[in-house]
A and B are shown apart, each in its own frame.
Chain A
Amino acid sequence: MLKNYWLTSWRSITRNRVHAAINIIGLAVGIASCILIYLFLQHELSYDQSFSDADRLYRVTSDMSLNGQAKKTALSHGPLAQTLTEEYPEVEQATFLLQMGQNSLRSKENALTVGISYADSNFFKVLPFPFVAGDPATALQNPFSVVVTEELARKYFGSADSALGKPLTYIASTFLVTGVISHPRPSHLQIDAVFPLHFDTNTEYMLNQWQMVGGYTYLKLFKAEQAGALTSKMPELYNRKAKPNQQMDGIAVTGYNIQPITDAYLDKDLEYPVGDVGNITYIYIFSVIAVFILLIATINYINLATARSAKRSKEVGLRKTIGASRSQLVKQFLAESFMLTLIAVVVALSIVELILPLFNSLTERSIDTIFILKPEVGLFILGIVIFVSFMAGGYPALYLSGYKPVEALKANATPNSGNARLRKALVVLQFTISLILIIGTVVVYNQMQHLKGVHLGFQKEHVISVKIPSIGWVRQKEKLALLKKEMLELPQIAYTSSAQQLPGEDALVSDFQVEINHKMVTRTINHIGVDYSYIDLMGIKLAEGRGYSREIRSDETHSYLINEAAAREFGWTDALDKRIKLPDDTLTSKVIGVVKDFNYKSLHSKIEPLIIRLEPHFGRLLTRVNTEADLSATLADMDKVWKKHFPAFPMDYQFLDESFQQQYRAEEKMLIIFTYFTILTIVIACLGLFGLSAYMAEQRTKEIGIRIVLGSSVSEIVLLLSRSFALLVLIAIVMAIPIAWFSMDKWLQNFAYRIEISWWVFVTTGLAAMTIALATVSYQAMKAALADPIRALRTE
């Protein structure tokens, strides 16, 4: 019997090639999307799972208050690690890590920009990075040692083994390689080179003070079950150690928590994360879209199967006459959908295999095809097969097997009207989903364009920033001054300057004393450090007062620029000469000017109050190139100047407009994926329409023949057949608009600078969908109308 089911299914599939192809393509694309998203999800959930004892590894997080505003951060106090290890029996070992950003690290042959981390000597006892060479227990004991990853060791020394004991130069000191680690990936930690925290007294100081938070505390429990016990002790720890030791205004820690290391990556609500942060929201969005694609393909199956039922009813009747029971027929139809789904899975796996490199580059992940061999992925695919077979085959099976044999055997079984109504409802559903996604994509695209074009308050084009290698701060200061002077002599360069923070990057945050109503009040404020010519170079406009000037000596020591937002925040109608002081400063500074608001952070947020400090000696070199100058020639000239001062270092430069754009990179990539998926949904929906209209036309062959014989024109026939589909698409448009509008408006509320969704978005997407749908249907209608009417009439 089973063989009979298979055979019949196989023949039914091969007899109706177009029908089968539509189903297989649709289901395969749907299934492939689901597999891809599932692999993506698996990958995102697997962060830090490959650390041995991952279940015992935790990170301390801090609740903080910033001007009374509560924030959660991944940061914590330096002495916490030692306290936890010594005073808390649950903790086997804890460690403190500082992430120092990117900097240059040199061997004799090679200078590379790498991620720099400082850690106490327990680091590798807590975080079990596998050692390829060296001893984890002692690797960070000597202050002038460094542990590097295998990749780095290979770049510097050719191999991991030969790296041990070799010197690397960082800032002005030499460190010997004492360990080579392999980096278990994926991981939220981005480690390239780890230095012992105590080589630098400035950072060692972090370990002994409870005022500042700036690093990360990781700990290993003796047993995973002790997490609860430790969590309940955290308030006591905070009250006993941190609270009495810090000033509670401005920035302050208000509590501690612990978090499994495996949750670190996906916790996007924590500020100051260690390294990469994933966004589970994207995964949810994509999962929903993938399920939609699968749903649309499933609907195609149901619609085509029931549309074809008139043809198959005869077969059903016959089988029943011969003695088939209903359950036997249900099984047969399910066998058919099962077989089709299986074929679709095979095609889907090939699609996944083909598309994975593109998907990886879009998502910036490295998901391996080997993933497919994992048992849980196999189970997932099996689940899809069963689910889709029943979803797609279930209704047609029940419906078709319910035919009464006598009626079914009649020459012209009339298609059931209730069934046709269901089909129409499903087509409306398909197009509603597609339209929502299309409108969504258009809105996201428009918003991204809007962000690019929004008035930034500065001129981001033609600005080049160059990193100064760490060669010790005295020499860095010297070189920066020389570079500014010499590059300004190049005819193409209009301004040179320097800044510690560039637009699009995080500003510093500190507590300032600010004069409000004649009293000095502590306020936590963003601040950046820039050179004299920064305002001019950036094209930032002054609202009041003046910019920094070399001629005025006091600017060097006690003058500040602020932005309009700061003036508003402090309630200053006349901001000039108002007093501002950093607690560490000896002198109280005066406001000398107010700049018009410019976007120094991401466009996600509104412009916050900002203090612009004068810092002419450090930071990145900035040049503004004349608009008409040739950029590559200018870069070559700049490089010549650079080579005079830094013959050993390549000029590490970036265009400001590009680096500014970086902050939207994740969104732009997601938009691309979003667009691909959206195109797929509409294509698959149209495939279904194509198949459906073919059956409609076939069913009405005779009617069309008669109409043509009676003198109807081809266009009248096309109109006749298209009209009902046009109505369905129209209903879908009407249904999609409010849903899309509501959900996209909600999404736009995340942006400080947002567009309003205009009516033409709906009109154009609606028109586009209608055009595509009608083109699809018209093809079949044309074919039917152009067929030889005599033959059509003879078919009975």
Chain B
Amino acid sequence: MSKEEFIIETQQLEKKYITDTVETTALAGVDLRIAKGEFVAVMGPSGCGKSTLLNILGLLDSPSGGTFRFLGQDISHASERQRAKIRKHNLGFVFQSFNLIDELTVEENIGLPLAYLGIPRAEADKRVKEAMERMGIAHRHAHFPQQLSGGQQQRVAIARATVSNPSLILADEPTGNLDSVHGREVMSLLSELNDAGTTVVMVTHSPSDAEYAHRIVNLFDGQIVTESLNARKHAAELL
């Protein structure tokens, strides 16, 4: 693989949290490369630094050490404004707790990233509609988040994460708050997006969710302990 095809490259990525008295090392030298179009699952025990890693990869947080290249560009020291710009254009987020804005309807929640991108109204409406149809929530477009079930809320969140056609989707335990039926539904949606070319990085506790990924990265105490290729997935794709 040539270097240009990595969407993410980190070297000795470190993150330390310094609170009043204690210093916590959440990431202790992570080397990770993720190729375009890959589906990576990050697993590990609670508190091992999964969310921290995902937040840094998502440019929501900055590392305390090491280098981080996004699409070949070193952004370890990028300003908040630059990072906001990259987020807006390239990234979509899905969270365990859905994190929809309670004051906005389904439609408005999904349309928000387009609004921030300054996409014209008509075009935005069209794309929101497509995204809702893809996620099977078009009939709920005027509802507010609290009026939806967990599964529906997560589909709205995925619709919102994908509506701007990001090149990378970051999902932090997207099925954590869902029952198994809805969980599988969400996983197949993510899988479909990946098939369509979007890179997906997902944190999960569930081995069955991890089955959807090409590669599984195991974290422990802020370091990558094992990386394994998902043979079944690769085999399926080769067919």
Contact = CB atoms under 8 A, between A and B. Distances in A.
Interface of A: 1, 4, 7-8, 11-12, 15, 314-315, 318-326, 328, 404-406, 409, 411
Interface in B76-97: 80-81, 84-85, 87-89, 91, 93, 95, 97
A322 B112 contact: yes
A328 B116 contact: yes
Interface of B: 55, 58, 60-61, 80-81, 84-85, 87-89, 91, 93, 95, 97, 99-104, 108, 112-113, 115-118, 160, 164
Given A1-B118, A4-B108, A318 B99 contact: yes
B115 A406 contact: no
Contacts of B85: 325
B211 to A, nearest CB: 27
Given A406-B55, A406-B61, A409-B95, A325 B103 contact: no
Contacts of B99: 314, 318, 321, 409
A477 B97 CA distance: 100
Nearest to B61: A406
Given A4-B108, A4-B115, A409-B95, A326 B84 contact: yes
Nearest to A315: B101
A493 B58 CA distance: 99
A411 B85 CA distance: 25
A19 to B, nearest CB: 14
Given A1-B118, A405-B60, A319 B112 contact: yes
Contacts of B60: 320-321, 404-406
A670 to B, nearest CB: 47
Given A4-B108, A406-B55, A323 B101 contact: no
B84 A323 contact: yes
Contacts of A7: 104, 108
Contacts of B58: 321
Contacts of A326: 80-81, 84
A8 B55 CA distance: 27
B100 to A, nearest CB: 8
Contacts of B89: 323
Contacts of B113: 322-323
A315 B103 CA distance: 9
Contact of A325 (B61, B81, B164): B81
A321 B97 CA distance: 14
Contacts of A411: 97
Given A321-B93, A325-B84, 5 more contacts: A4-B112, A315-B101, A323-B87, A323-B113, A409-B95
A315 B101 CA distance: 6
Most B CB contacts (10 A, CB to CB) among A4, A322, A324 go to: A322
A321 B87 contact: yes
B103 A320 contact: no
Nearest to A327: B81
Contacts of A405: 60
A761 B89 CA distance: 65
A11 B101 CA distance: 11
Contacts of B100: 318
Contacts of A321: 58, 60, 87, 93, 99
B28 to A, nearest CB: 19
Contacts of B97: 411
A463 B94 CA distance: 89
A449 to B, nearest CB: 55
Given A314-B99, A318-B99, A409-B99, A323 B108 contact: no
Contacts of B115: 1, 4
B160 A322 contact: yes
A144 B108 CA distance: 84
13 contacts: A4-B112, A11-B104, A315-B101, A321-B87, A322-B113, A324-B84, A324-B88, A324-B116, A325-B88, A325-B116, A406-B55, A406-B60, A406-B61
B88 A323 contact: yes
A15 B87 contact: no
B117 A323 contact: yes
Nearest to B85: A325
Contacts of A314: 99
A411 B96 CA distance: 12
Nearest to A1: B115
Contact of A8 (B61, B80, B84, B103): B103
B128 to A, nearest CB: 13
Given A7-B108, A321-B60, A406-B55, A12 B103 contact: yes
B103 A15 contact: yes
Contacts of A409: 95, 99
Contacts of B112: 4, 319, 322, 324
A243 B116 CA distance: 81
A12 B164 CA distance: 26
B80 A323 contact: no
Nearest to A9: B103
Contacts of A324: 84, 88, 112, 116
Nearest to B51: A406
A33 to B, nearest CB: 32
Nearest to A10: B103
B93 A322 contact: yes
A402 to B, nearest CB: 10
Contacts of A12: 103
A517 B165 CA distance: 109
- Shortest beta-carbon contacts, A-B, top 10: A323-B88, A11-B103, A323-B116, A406-B61, A405-B60, A406-B60, A322-B113, A406-B55, A325-B84, A324-B116
A313 to B, nearest CB: 12
A571 B101 CA distance: 88
Contacts of A404: 60-61
Most A CB contacts (10 A, CB to CB) among B84, B89, B113 go to: B84
Nearest to A402: B80
Contacts of A15: 103
B90 to A, nearest CB: 10
B115 to A, nearest CB: 5
A405 B51 CA distance: 13
Contacts of B102: 315
Contacts of A8: 103-104
A404 B58 CA distance: 13
Contacts of B81: 325-326
A324 B84 CA distance: 7
Nearest to B93: A321
